[in-house]
Amino acid sequence: MAGTDTPQDPPARRPLVALLSGAGISTDSGIPDYRGPHGLWRRDPEAEKLVTYDLYMSDPEIRRRSWRMRRESPAFRAKPNAAHEAVAQLERSGTPVRVITQNVDGLHQMAGLPERKLLELHGTVRAVTCTRCHARSSMREALERVAAGEPDPACLVCGGILKSATVMFGERLDPQVLGKALGVAKAAEVFLAVGTTLQVQPAGSLAGVAAEHGARLIIVNAEPTPYDALAAEVIREPIGTALPPLLAALEQPG
């Protein structure tokens, strides 16, 4: 009958997708991982000392070596790869997305993921912070001072020791960031752990928390993880190959 409204089905609801990314998602961008077969800690066990808080604070030579390491870091030359782009595209599709990253390289943001959708568990290498007054400034400015002849640049505000705005060994994670990450893990309906061994705690436990709260857990990692048995799907293919089609499928509602 003319003029009669036809009932329409409500639009299908898209599930909340959470993604925990580790070092493996950035290896295609030229940033080596840490604990893989060719990881940094396996190739150079001494490198771990440069990011250990107590050693960094007590030994000026460790700090000088740390600044030299930062100057040479591939993170500052790296560009987002297909996996980072796929994550940003999933967010642009309208799918509810939250990304929790163990990485400090800033590549998720460079790919276009909004800051409000990202939790950086281990901080960022793109900023420095003073260990005394907690003033924050850019890593680029600090490295320019190193290049100009300051091997261990001090805070320009109070003269305190500067460090990368990353969580070093021996430091606690920011409790607010961790609390938000736990909330995301509990609320997620799909939880992907990508390029992470899930061995570093408490970050690794987020996969278990998500599974315990009913999320469909998908693990994309070259090596086995402690949470594989909880996963609905375990993918061993290269991340740059496996992740784009996997996330594209999640763009479809229902």
More confident residue, 8 or 151: 151
Lowest-confidence pick of 22-26, 33-37, 125-129, 154-158: 33-37
Decide: 29 and 79 in contact? Cβ < 8 Å.
yes
- Polymer length of the chain: 254
Separation between Cα atoms, residue 218 and residue 246, nearest integer Å: 10
Predicted pLDDT at 32: 82
Separation between Cα atoms, residue 172 and residue 215, nearest integer Å: 27
- Marked catalytic residue, from 108, 122, 134, 213: 122
Decide: 235 and 74 in contact? Cβ < 8 Å.
no
- Ordered by start, the domain boundaries in the chain are 12-31+79-122+171-254, 34-77+126-166
Does pLDDT of 140 surpass 90?
yes
Predicted pLDDT at 13: 67
- 12-31+79-122+171-254, superfamily in CATH? TPP-binding domain (3.40.50.1220)
Claim: this prediction has a pTM higher than 0.85: yes
Predicted pLDDT at 8: 58
Separation between Cα atoms, residue 213 and residue 190, nearest integer Å: 11
Cβ neighbours around 144 below 10 Å, total:
12
Tell me if 12-31+79-122+171-254 shares its fold with 34-77+126-166. Answer: no
CATH 3.10.129.10 fits 34-77+126-166, yes or no: no
Decide: 34 and 207 in contact? Cβ < 8 Å.
no
- Catalytic site includes residue 213: no
Cβ neighbours around 244 below 10 Å, total:
17
Predicted pLDDT at 252: 62
**Which residues lie closer than 8 Å to 151 by C-beta, 6 or more apart?**
64, 67, 68
